[in-house]
Amino acid sequence: MGIRLWTLRGESAVVETPSDVSAAVIDPVTAVDPGQPTLPGTGVTTDPGQVSAADATRPAEVLQPPPELQDWEKQEVSRFLQPESAPATNDESQSAEPGVTLPDSAQAETSLEPAVLPELRDWDTTVAAIHACQACDLAQNCTQKVPGVGDRQADLLIVGEGPGHDEDIRGEPFVGRSGQLLDRMLAAIGIDREQVYITNIVKCRPPNNRDPRPEEAARCRHYLEAQIRQLEPKVILSVGRVSAHNLLATGDPVGKLIRQSHKLPGTDIPVKVTYHPAYLLRNPSAKAIAWQDLKQLRRMLS
């Protein structure tokens, strides 16, 4: 199934934005690139604990603006940029993005003995193994496993951190308020949820929506690697700190990782890092940065 994307036509530093989104002039306080969309009347600022003024300001990309948006596309972009009416609850991520680093590498690399790991030859074997897995305490406390969902031949793989309350009940990733925002984010760049594959670093819900522990992520790594191998995605979108730290084996802040180019270690697969939708629900001002990430993702898939 193909992904419908806009085609870029040349090179320019000017970026078109929807008519109902105002442009912010760069300011050392707001630290938003010229031409970035801002929330009307808010004077977008970044989260002070996450992204410094220098970090949030990115060099202008030498790119041609995309074609004029159609009316429905403008509506999707406008909906994505609007702040939410209520705080996020019972979602995949309740912890703040900044201020967390990886533990010692010896602890982070904890994994099962090779003889215990099942051989994951295909999708059906992988999903069955995930449902049968009892490798850590998460499996004992979750309602059900959440292997992933979507097109198994997709160009785009989206990796979150772990199931939240709603995901644990339904057995599908990103179905709560974070999932609704993720759907709007994808729609804003012309991608349907059914056109991508979505999974998480861990396949069971951590108690009280806490971060997955390093040893828990390590025991799920075998399944994630099998999914990546079977999917062979063109691009991986890493949403949030936990996802980025585990995929890239780093402890750098998300605000820094967003501005860098990455490849999945040991492969040539590009990884684009952005904020977790749950973080955007708590910090609507960061949506302006996420919008730039989405436009870059669209170019990477073109």
Q: When comparing pLDDT for 277 and 53, which is higher?
A: 277
pLDDT of residue 116: 63
**CA–CA separation, 193 vs 180, rounded Å?**
10
Name the β-bridge partners of 171.
Answer: none
pLDDT of residue 84: 60
SS3 of 146-203: the string is: CCCEECCCCCEEEEECCCCHHHHHHCCCCCCHHHHHHHHHHHHCCCCHHHCEEEECCC
**CA–CA separation, 161 vs 100, rounded Å?**
14
pLDDT of residue 90: 42
- Give the global pTM: 0.69
pLDDT in tens, 192-221: 999 999 999 999 999 998 999 999 999 999
What is the length of the chain?
302
**CA–CA separation, 247 vs 274, rounded Å?**
13
Mean per-residue pLDDT over the chain, rounded:
76
* The domain defined by 105-301 carries CATH number 3.40.470.10: yes
Instruction: Please give the structure tokens belonging to residue 125.
Output: 């074997």
Residue-range domain boundaries for the chain? 105-301
Residue 119 — pLDDT band, cuts 50, 70, 90?
A: confident
Report phi then psi at 15, rounded to 5.
-115, 125
Residue 44 pLDDT more than 70?
Answer: no
pLDDT in tens, 216-269: 999 999 999 999 999 999 999 999 999 999 999 999 999 999 999 999 999 999
Residue 118 — pLDDT band, cuts 50, 70, 90?
A: confident
State the amino acid at position 90 in one-letter form: N
**CA–CA separation, 73 vs 40, rounded Å?**
18
